[in-house]
Amino acid sequence: MTIVTRFAPSPTGYLHIGSLRTVLYNYLYAKKNNGKFMLRIEDTDRARYVDGSIENLLQVLASVGLIPDEGPNNPGEKWPYLQSERLEKYQEHIKTLLDTDMAYHCFCSSDRLEELRAEQTGLGLPTRYDGKCRHLSQEEIQEKLSTGWVHTIRLKVPKNKKVVFEDTIRGKIEVDTKDIDDQVLIKSDGFPTYHFAVVIDDYLMWVTDIIRGDEWIPSTPKHILLYEAFGWDKPIFSHVPPLVGADRKKLSKRTGDVSVERFLENGYFPEALLNYISLLGWNPKTTQEIFSLGSLIEVFKLEDVHKSGAVFDTERLDWFNSKYMANYETDTLYNKLITYLKRYDADFATQIESHPKEYNIKILQELKTRIKKLSDYKEFTTFFYGEIQKLDMWLFLNPKMKILSAEDVQDSLEMALSLLSDSSLDLVSLENIKDTFITAISASQKKNGQVLWPVRVALSMEKFSPGALELIYILGREKSIQRIQKVLNDIS
Ligand code: GLU
């Protein structure tokens, strides 16, 4: 039997980071078992439908490389993949349940149901349908239907039964049917409810494993009753715990970014994001932390997913991202940077690309161990791509480096200037520049920092930047001389 997993989102907006982890687990489990991962869109709740969310979802999944084997974009034999296009299947199946007395028409008005709920709440009871329409006669039903009476169709939940299932992550779960409501299966507008459509589709689409958020645990017994009513084998259920914030509450907009698109826009690599979230709530049982998607497929085990919520920590994500950043070949990283900028900051991409690639690569080579996200690149490179506009003399002063006055700055800069002006100094390698400067500095009885600190500031005019010699290597002779000269002119 082929393992089939699925992600079945409702198109109500953006893709939440917690849902991405659910997608990932579905994907990993399917791939590990040579199975298929499918995408189905649960769009029967028209009131909650948000325009553009399906396109957005498909695009985000493509960006992170979790491409479904079947779905609206790449249909297979289980077509169609949008529930709104499968309505006749639900009609057909509800008929079977009505014919076998497993479901019934309910003609109760919304006012009555409202009153019932209020009454039950007042008495501190769980709100539940009281079964008024459970035993209407065929004549009563036909009469009401023929006069066009507004109605829903409910599941006739069997009395005195235990619904039992074994959840891969949670273990055995048992619920008494006295605690299960006669669930609406078809709404008054003729559309199926989630509970009905999900079961019909998972069955018709040969889904073998349902991996979803644990907020769906209370729904699962209702689904199992439906499988039983049809006499179908039920799939294996695995309910994964939510991602929580530092406050242990479910991760929500309140605590910061939760949309996957936003993480990508903020300059996180999809592979770092997947690596990090894979480990939230799943224990690979090794000390290894960096996993490619391929290696995750190999080692992932659903049984090793924890029961309790996992804390999402942006600092940890930053750590993973900076590891990926530092480990990429600079050429590969450069392509990623340009692709990222073209998407999110096209003007800056154009600005960068107007410089020789070699120049950009040198900058990136230097920065890749300093920045955490692609979005940091811009902030750290202003002085590489534009001229320095204003001198900030305070930045030069550094008692630790014995730079206490304008004269100290001048001395050091003049020394650097004379070294740079010597055409025999070859700037093609950083090693060469280092050798020349360090030898000259030690011959002058100065400390390295005493010369290099003012040079670094003159070249960057920033509190933090790569070191002076790295800056010279990147900026080249002409620009370095020009910047140092400018400072000398201004302070003399
Ligand atoms: N449509 C449901 C949702 O939006 C799917 C739940 C499930 O996976 O069964 O999350």
Across the beta sheet with 103-106, what order do the strands follow?
103-106, 152-155, 184-186
Q: Which two tokens stand for residue 433?
A: 């520049």
**CA–CA distance, 287 with 269 (Å, rounded to integer):** 22
pLDDT of residue 255: 67
pTM given for the model: 0.93
Confidence of residue 226 (pLDDT cuts 50, 70, 90): very high
- Chain segment 4-61, per-residue pLDDT in tens: 999 999 999 899 999 999 999 999 999 999 999 999 999 988 888 889 999 999 999 9
What is the Å distance from ligand 1's center to 25 Cα?
A: 15
- pLDDT of residue 256 exceeding 80, the answer is no
- CA distances, 344 to each of 270, 286, 295, 337, 350 (Å): 15, 37, 30, 10, 12
10 CA closest ligand 1 atom index: 4
Q: Which helix (H) or strand (E) holds 202?
A: helix 194-204
Ligand 1 atom 10 nearest Cα: 9
**CA–CA distance, 214 with 171 (Å, rounded to integer):** 13
Percent share of the chain, pLDDT over 70: 100
- pLDDT of residue 333 exceeding 70, the answer is yes
pLDDT of residue 42: 96
**Interacting residues of 34 by C-beta distance below 8 A, sequence separation 6+:** 2, 3
Confidence of residue 131 (pLDDT cuts 50, 70, 90): very high
Confidence of residue 250 (pLDDT cuts 50, 70, 90): confident
**Interacting residues of 469 by C-beta distance below 8 A, sequence separation 6+:** 430, 433, 434, 437, 452
- Side-chain-side CA neighbours of 333 within 13 Å: the count stands at 28
For ligand 1, pick from 83, 216, 219, 224 the residue to mutate: most ligand atoms within 8 Å of CB. 216
For ligand 1, pick from 7, 23, 212, 224 the residue to mutate: most ligand atoms within 8 Å of CB. 212
pLDDT of residue 96: 97
pLDDT of residue 98: 97
Hey, what domains does the chain have and what are their CATH numbers?
A: 4-70+243-311 (3.40.50.620), 86-240 (3.40.50.620), 330-385 (no CATH), 393-491 (1.10.10.350)
- pLDDT of residue 480 exceeding 70, the answer is yes
Say if CB 483 and CB 456 are below 8 A apart.
no
**CA–CA distance, 383 with 381 (Å, rounded to integer):** 5
Distance, C-alpha 165 to centroid of its chain: 30
For ligand 1, pick from 5, 7, 10, 219 the residue to mutate: most ligand atoms within 8 Å of CB. 10
Buried b (16+ CB within 10 A) or exposed e, 433-450: beebbeebbeeeebeebb
Mean pLDDT to the nearest integer, 108-121: 97
Maximum alpha-carbon separation in the chain: 109
What is the Å distance from ligand 1's center to 367 Cα?
A: 42
- Chain segment 364-387, per-residue pLDDT in tens: 999 999 999 999 999 999 999 999
**CA–CA distance, 210 with 223 (Å, rounded to integer):** 12
pLDDT of residue 316: 97
Q: Which two tokens stand for residue 338?
A: 């340009």
What is the Å distance from ligand 1's center to 318 Cα?
A: 30
Say if CB 10 and CB 42 are below 8 A apart.
yes
Mean pLDDT of the chain: 95
**CA–CA distance, 42 with 31 (Å, rounded to integer):** 23
- pLDDT of residue 389 exceeding 70, the answer is yes
What is the Å distance from ligand 1's center to 11 Cα?
A: 10
42 CA closest ligand 1 atom index: 1
- The residues facing 36 across adjacent strands are 4
- pLDDT of residue 391 exceeding 80, the answer is yes
pLDDT of residue 252: 79
pLDDT of residue 237: 98
Confidence of residue 249 (pLDDT cuts 50, 70, 90): confident
For ligand 1, pick from 45, 198, 226 the residue to mutate: most ligand atoms within 8 Å of CB. 198
- pLDDT of residue 274 exceeding 80, the answer is yes
Residues taking part in catalysis: 253
- The residues facing 165 across adjacent strands are 173
- Side-chain-side CA neighbours of 125 within 13 Å: the count stands at 13
pLDDT of residue 247: 86
What is the Å distance from ligand 1's center to 218 Cα?
A: 13
What is the Å distance from ligand 1's center to 86 Cα?
A: 16
pLDDT of residue 206: 97
**CA–CA distance, 206 with 210 (Å, rounded to integer):** 11
212 CA closest ligand 1 atom index: 8
Pocket of ligand 1 (CB under 6 A): 8-10, 42, 194, 198, 212, 216
What is the Å distance from ligand 1's center to 38 Cα?
A: 13
6 CA closest ligand 1 atom index: 8
19 CA closest ligand 1 atom index: 10
Ligand 1 atom 3 nearest Cα: 9
213 CA closest ligand 1 atom index: 8
